[in-house]
Amino acid sequence: MKITAILLTYYKERLTHIPQIVEDVWNQSIIPQELIIINNNPELKLPKLKATVINCSRNFQTDIRIAIGALVDATHIFQLDDDASIKPRVLENLINWYKKLDNPIVSYYGRNFNNDNKESPYWTGKRIHSRSTERPLEMNHVGARISLIRREVFAEALKVFANIPDYPRNGGEDILTSLVNKYHFKKKNYLVPAKDDYDWIDLGEKGIGLSRHKAIHSKNRDDSVKLLWKYYKQD
């Protein structure tokens, strides 16, 4: 297993989070071969870090993670966001559960869709965190924040993204990878349990983020599900 960690950042309010996340990545019991930081904000100047930093010329939204993930020299991607860090055995935990299961995406949070609500299947679904379960749970959607995913899922997701011109450009990339994994590769998505040294650290959104724009964010999420159901003829 050849793992590249990818951290996506944009908000200047979370700049102080980045050094801690970088340090925590390199303090893992199993360390990745590489850490890539995607700086999606051309006005944000990162300090010198032990990482490969990609400074974007504009905000490419969250789908930039798919494009970079599809191109890296790795078999698996360890995904991170800038509002959470990780305790020393998080990557080890994800790898262990990945090996016990059948080539899934494994993550620390997820959501099951409400199939009875065709207009809002995502937002009216049930969200679950890793701290609330003692066993792995199969989920429709698993989040990008703190997850382990095969690189081939990113590569296929990039093709699907190109085939759906009106796919939301922000907030739908982990729905895309989850449903590509489920419908194209016929594999499962799992929320896995986490406690003690396997747990994550909430650094806070700092008053900003996609979830603060609930009306837009919820519409993007629901539209993502509906477009992918249609694409894979699941509607």
Quick check: 64 and 162 in contact, CB under 8 A? no
| Domain extent at residue 213 | 3-231
Mean pLDDT of the residues in the chain: 93
Q: Cα angle at 111 between 199 and 1, to 5 degrees?
A: 55
Q: Extract the runs of DSSP E, i.e. beta strands, from the chain.
A: 3-9, 34-39, 52-55, 76-81, 84-86, 105-107, 109-112, 126-129, 137-139, 141-142, 147-150, 189-191, 200-202
Instruction: Give the model confidence (pLDDT) of 135-191 as tens digits.
Output: 999 999 999 989 999 999 999 999 999 999 999 877 689 999 999 999 999 999 999
Number of domains in the chain: 1
CA 125 to chain centre: 18
* Three-class secondary structure of residue 200 per DSSP: strand
What's the CATH number where 203 sits? 3.90.550.10
Q: Provide the pLDDT for residue 206.
A: 64
